[in-house]
Structure 1
Amino acid sequence: MIDVHCHILPGIDDGAPDIRASLRMASALIDDGVEAVVCTPHILPGLYHNTGPLIRAATEELRSALAAAGVHLSLFSGADAHICPDFGAKLKSGEILTLADSRYVLLELPMHVRPEPLTKFVFELMVAGYVPIISHPERLAWIEPHFSLIRRLARSGVWFQVTSGSLLGAFGRSAKYWAERLLDEGFVHLLATDAHDLERRAPDLKRGRDAAASRVGDVEANHLVFTRPQGILANTSPSNLPLSLAQHANEIPKSA
């Protein structure tokens, strides 16, 4: 399995506080069946002032520490980037990173207030050649009154990534309900841990994958944690990756 959203880098956001914690998280990920991780520290103006060069340096530092400790986990750089007015410019300059230097970019939306104009924001990213991935939509407080927006974004080619812990009830009944509904309606492209530590937000991708399989079957569950994530690492066009279940049902046109 491949985890494309994990806060494993030491000391640069609210994830692993130090190298020792990062090494323990890496071992836990391996024990859970994860072979590769995209390191996605927060980029949030006013709180986490991480930049592309800083994230790349921290990834290389952890990569070296893993090698010295004999821990065999492949690492790639990325970011869990909060949307902002100059987002596109920061992508072009390298201040914000895509996932593993691919066309796929992980977007973190405001948790409590629907951003405006979100449709225009993602459209501009797509015109520029990126594939926007909205992280943990099931945990957005505004998802219920604006679920029609989620549908419209999915139809436009936006990807959605659900947190494995949401399916397991780790974020409460509401997040579990919306994670399951997004899966059932075929809007989920990826499942990831969004792991931050080994206590409160521990790696749990295998259990999340199994919970997804109980709803959508083994083939689609494997697409969520391996096929599409592998496509991200290879920078494969979404048109050459497995369709979401909603696309299979002809609800959403296949992305170009």
Structure 2
Amino acid sequence: MIDLHSHLLPGCDDGAADLEMALTMARRAVDDGVRVMACTPHILPGLYSNDATGIEARVASLRQALGEADIDLTLVVGADVHIAPDLPKKLGDGTIPTLNGSRYFLLEPPHQVLPPQLENLIASLIGAGFVPIMTHPERLAWTRTHYDVVDRINAAGCLIQITAGSLTGCFGRTAQYLADRMLDDGRVDIIASDAHNLRARAPGLSKAREIVAARHGRELAEDLVIQKPMRILRDLPVAPHLASSRAAKFPTSQPAGEIRPFSRLFEWIRSA
């Protein structure tokens, strides 16, 4: 399996606290059947000031440590990117890394309240040639009352990633309900661990994969943890699950170099 969302890199965000924990998390992931893991630390202005250069160096160091510990896990570079006013620019100049150098990147919206210009931001990013992967919408406080936003974003080309632990009940009943509903509605494109530690946020995809296989069939389960993640890392086209049967509700392309302003969105986040 391929895990596209993890906080495995030690000491750079709220994930693995040190190298010992990172190695133990890696072993647990391998024991669970994961063979490739994206290292995706938070990039959040004012709190986690990670960038592509620093993440690449940390990944190289952890790769060496995995080899010395005889842990058969392939690491790729990425980031868990929060909204910022210069996000399109920093993606364009490579300051913020995409997943394995592809057009795809993880985008984490604010948890508590729906940003008022989120759909415009996503349209701008897609128009600039990037494909956002919205992380764990089932765990966002605003999703239940704005479920239609997830539908429109997905239809417009933004991929949707849910957390494996949401399907198994680790994040409570609401997250589990929304994860199940998104699967039933065909809105889920990727399942990832979002692993942070060895306790409540541990690595592992197999339990969630089996839940999906039992309810929706083995083909979909493998697609969410193997086939689509593999295509993303190879920078191949990946259509949202329901893209062929849904019309986008807002434009997904713009003239080159034209980015819709969303500075007010960032100001709103900082003042919230």
The TM-score, its normalising length taken from structure 2, stands at: 0.89
Q: Percent identity?
A: 46
Rounded to whole Å, the distance in 1 between the matches of 2:180 and 2:114 is: 21
Which sections of structure 2, spanning at least 5 residues, go unmatched?
A: 254-272
Report the alpha carbon displacement of residue 140 of structure 1 after superposing the two structures with TM: 0.7
State whether structure 2 residue 77 is matched by structure 1 residue 77. yes
**Aligned runs of 1:37-186 on 2, under 5 Å?**
37-186=37-186
Rounded to whole Å, the distance in 1 between the matches of 2:117 and 2:172 is: 29
Which residue in 2 is equivalent to 1:203?
A: 203
Report the alpha carbon displacement of residue 93 of structure 1 after superposing the two structures with TM: 2.2
Rounded to whole Å, the distance in 2 between the matches of 1:195 and 1:99 is: 16
Rounded to whole Å, the distance in 2 between the matches of 1:192 and 1:49 is: 23
Which residue in 2 is equivalent to 1:31?
A: 31
Which residue in 2 is equivalent to 1:251?
A: 246
State whether structure 2 residue 9 is matched by structure 1 residue 14. no
Report the alpha carbon displacement of residue 200 of structure 1 after superposing the two structures with TM: 2.0
Report the alpha carbon displacement of residue 252 of structure 1 after superposing the two structures with TM: 5.3
Report the alpha carbon displacement of residue 215 of structure 1 after superposing the two structures with TM: 2.3
Q: CA RMSD in A?
A: 1.5
**Counterpart residue type for residue 246 of structure 2:** E
Which residue in 1 is equivalent to 2:224?
A: 224
Rounded to whole Å, the distance in 2 between the matches of 1:153 and 1:50 is: 27
**Counterpart residue type for residue 143 of structure 1:** T
| Aligned partners of 1:43 and 1:82 also within 8 Å | yes
| Aligned partners of 1:3 and 1:192 also within 8 Å | yes
| Aligned partners of 1:183 and 1:215 also within 8 Å | no
**Counterpart residue type for residue 162 of structure 1:** I
**Counterpart residue type for residue 179 of structure 2:** A
Runs of at least 4 residues of structure 1 off by over 3 A?
none
| Aligned partners of 2:34 and 2:204 also within 8 Å | no
Report the alpha carbon displacement of residue 149 of structure 1 after superposing the two structures with TM: 1.1
Rounded to whole Å, the distance in 2 between the matches of 1:41 and 1:216 is: 31
| Aligned partners of 1:6 and 1:40 also within 8 Å | yes
Query: Does 1 or 2 have the higher relative contact order (CA < 8 Å, sep 6+)?
Result: 2
Rounded to whole Å, the distance in 2 between the matches of 1:163 and 1:57 is: 27
Rounded to whole Å, the distance in 1 between the matches of 2:155 and 2:10 is: 37
| Aligned partners of 1:154 and 1:252 also within 8 Å | no
Rounded to whole Å, the distance in 1 between the matches of 2:102 and 2:68 is: 28
2:55 match: secondary structure: helix
Larger mean Cα displacement after TM superposition, 90-99 or 49-58: 90-99
The TM-score, its normalising length taken from structure 1, stands at: 0.94
How many pairs were matched up? 250
**Counterpart residue type for residue 121 of structure 1:** L
Which sections of structure 1, spanning at least 5 residues, go unmatched?
A: none
| Aligned partners of 1:79 and 1:99 also within 8 Å | yes
Report the alpha carbon displacement of residue 217 of structure 1 after superposing the two structures with TM: 1.2
Report the alpha carbon displacement of residue 247 of structure 1 after superposing the two structures with TM: 4.0
State whether structure 2 residue 211 is matched by structure 1 residue 215. no
Rounded to whole Å, the distance in 2 between the matches of 1:116 and 1:97 is: 25
Rounded to whole Å, the distance in 1 between the matches of 2:43 and 2:129 is: 21
Give CA-to-partner distance per residue, 1:7-60, whole Å, 9 cap, x none: 100110111111111111111000000000010000111211111111111000
